[in-house]
Amino acid sequence: MTTPAALTRPEPPGTAARRFAARIAVLLARALAMLPPKRLRWVLTVLSRGARPARYAQAKAARDLVMAVSLRCLGPQGCLPRSLATVLLCRFAGRWPTWCVGVRVTPPFSAHSWVEADRRLVDEPMPGECLARLITVPPGPDRRCSDAG
């Protein structure tokens, strides 16, 4: 027996320009999700350079907007494109939350991708103790300005 499930799309907050930026971030995220992990980490590390750390409220607003414009990101299997689109949308504003990929350490064991800001998981349905980080991409320093040699 199956249980029918339907996703309820929230009303997209923000201006039309912000919603358009979220749709662009989702499209870019879908392309990035196809990369092998090593290449994806490299691309995100380059993109994070020079960005200021995102605050929790900024990362949550970006995540909410991404989920409002994309059913794929809203769904239970959309953690990778959702987290990628969230960091990209934050980056459009000059910010970067910490992007993480890891595994759930409590049943059901599975891979998961999420973002963190202010040392907290951004709007995840599980506590941080249930996740083990394998790859993280925090906000990076601006390498162009730090080379004084």
Higher pLDDT, residue 52 or 14: 52
Write down the domain spans for the chain.
16-146
Tell me: pLDDT of 145 over 70. no
pLDDT reported for residue 8: 67
Query: Please, are residues 25 and 88 in contact by the beta-carbon 8 Å criterion?
Result: yes
Tell me: pLDDT of 42 over 90. yes
Close Cβ partners of 54 (under 8 Å, ≥ 6 residues apart): 62, 90, 95, 96, 97, 117, 139
State the sign of the Cα–Cα–Cα–Cα dihedral 34, 35, 38, 40: negative
Name the strands in the sheet holding 98-104, side by side, starting at the edge strand that comes first in the sequence.
120-121, 111-117, 98-104, 131-137
Decide: helix, strand or coil at residue 104: strand
Q: What is the pLDDT of residues 71-97, one digit of tens each?
A: 899 888 899 999 999 999 999 999 999
Encoded tokens for 69:
């414009």
pLDDT reported for residue 68: 93
Q: Which of 12, 9, 125 is nearest to 65 (CA)?
A: 12
Query: Please, are residues 102 and 112 in contact by the beta-carbon 8 Å criterion?
Result: yes
